[in-house]
Amino acid sequence: MEDVEVQVLDPETEFLASKRETGNEWELFKENVRPLKRGRNVSVLNDALKAHTQNQLKKSLLEERRRLIEAIDEYQGDDPLHPWIQCVKWIQEAFPSAGDSSGLVLIYEQCVRTFWHSDRYKDDFRYLKVWLEYADNCIDAQIIYTFLDANDIGKTHAAYYIAYALHLESKSKMKAANEILNLGISRSAQPIEKLRDAYKKFLLRSMKMQNANNNEDSMENNNASVRSFGTVLAGEENRRQTTENSNLAKKLLKPEQVQRAPLSVYNDRNVDTIGQNSKLKTNFNPWQTLGTRAERNKENNSIPAKWTSYKVPQRPGPRAGGSTTQGACIQVFVDEECSERSKTGTETESGRTSSLQLREMDGKNIKKETELLRENPLRNFPSKSLPR
């Protein structure tokens, strides 16, 4: 009897083939989960990942997000920043991929725009953390750090200087990053031990980068010297060989071959006929005189006229647009988003930013606004608050 080969599957493939639900759905979508420093709640994560396939669960998540946003406007406690932080944490848990449709970037922007002028939260670490997370979701966070510096937000915390230095280091601005870390140490930003440890690590990275650049420069110089030396030798050999070959060729040539006959110039037969025809043509209209200056400058005699006085003749009949009414007004297009914003307003009477904007948006509008905020994070801030 022939042996029957039994194919053994690995545990992950066997689990996928069985299509069982064991409460570990995060194993199937773990590449789409954005990591958090504080960790994640597994039960909430599993419910959030089930929303990819279950529409009812997805609707419940959107309803819960709407409820939390309404709770921000209805909050009457002593800490108005608290409901914003709770909403941010819930969105991070319920939308693990933190995509554009989650609305997380909009919550970040509305939260920081609500309290940027409040002296109470300028040194609050929770408020600074929202700013830093907002900067991580933007294309270029330089304008955010410049805004924080201009408005004295978070300058007592070491996290501000560390994040700012890492941003400058990612742009290869090592000198500016060194100045930012030294500035934080001189201001005794807390915790100072964390800031000093980050500065030591920065110095080690900068020294390694400098040594790597020096090694590359030395290798390039060595390669350049070898190539230049080789090219000089090759050039000398080629010139020597060329001169030797030319001298040998001159010796081998016979004296009869050296004295060659003169070159014969080729004469085209058509040239004579063309010249005769041209002579005949010139004899018909000979120039007896050159003429006066006015005759020679006759191309400059035209008087300039006003172009607007000339009217283009138009054909009678209906126009291409089909509209024969004269003086019809052109309807100006107004974006629906701009009209809604002008009606509702982005700020309430108490000076707090209203969260109605996010509640009334659907998925497409949230994605569009998120893309705009990634490109320009301070697009909704008043012009007087922007750094110059």
Question: In the structure, what pLDDT confidence band is assigned to residue 293 with cuts at 50, 70 and 90?
Answer: confident
Are 145 and 164 spatial neighbours (Cβ–Cβ below 8 Å)? yes
Q: Which residues contact 109 (CB under 8 A, 6 or more apart)?
A: 134, 373, 377, 380
Rounded distance between C-alpha atoms, residue 147 and residue 141, angstroms: 10
pLDDT recorded at residue 270 = 60
More confident of the two residues 377 and 224: 377
**What DSSP state is assigned to residue 261?**
P
Rounded distance between C-alpha atoms, residue 116 and residue 382, angstroms: 11
Domain ranges of the chain: 15-148, 155-240
Do 15-148 and 155-240 show the same overall fold?
yes
Closest listed residue to residue 357, CA positions, set 368, 231, 309, 120 = 368
Q: Reply yes or no on whether the pLDDT at 16 is more than 80.
A: no
- pLDDT tens-digit map of 200-251: 999 999 999 888 888 877 777 666 555 454 454 445 555 565 666 666 555 5
Mean pLDDT taken over the chain: 76
pLDDT recorded at residue 387 = 74
Q: Reply yes or no on whether the pLDDT at 132 is more than 60.
A: yes
Rounded distance between C-alpha atoms, residue 176 and residue 168, angstroms: 7
Question: In the structure, what pLDDT confidence band is assigned to residue 350 with cuts at 50, 70 and 90?
Answer: very low
- pLDDT tens-digit map of 72-98: 989 999 999 999 999 999 998 888 877
Looking at 1.10.620.20, 1.20.120.790, 2.130.10.30, 1.25.40.430, the CATH number of the domain 155-240 comes to 1.25.40.430
- pLDDT tens-digit map of 28-73: 666 777 778 777 777 777 777 777 777 888 888 889 899 999 999 8
Rounded distance between C-alpha atoms, residue 126 and residue 85, angstroms: 8
Q: Which CATH class is domain 15-148?
A: mainly alpha
Q: Which residues contact 357 (CB under 8 A, 6 or more apart)?
A: 106, 110, 341, 344, 346
Rounded distance between C-alpha atoms, residue 28 and residue 24, angstroms: 8
The answer, yes or no, to whether the previous bond of 191 is cis (omega within 30 of 0) is: yes
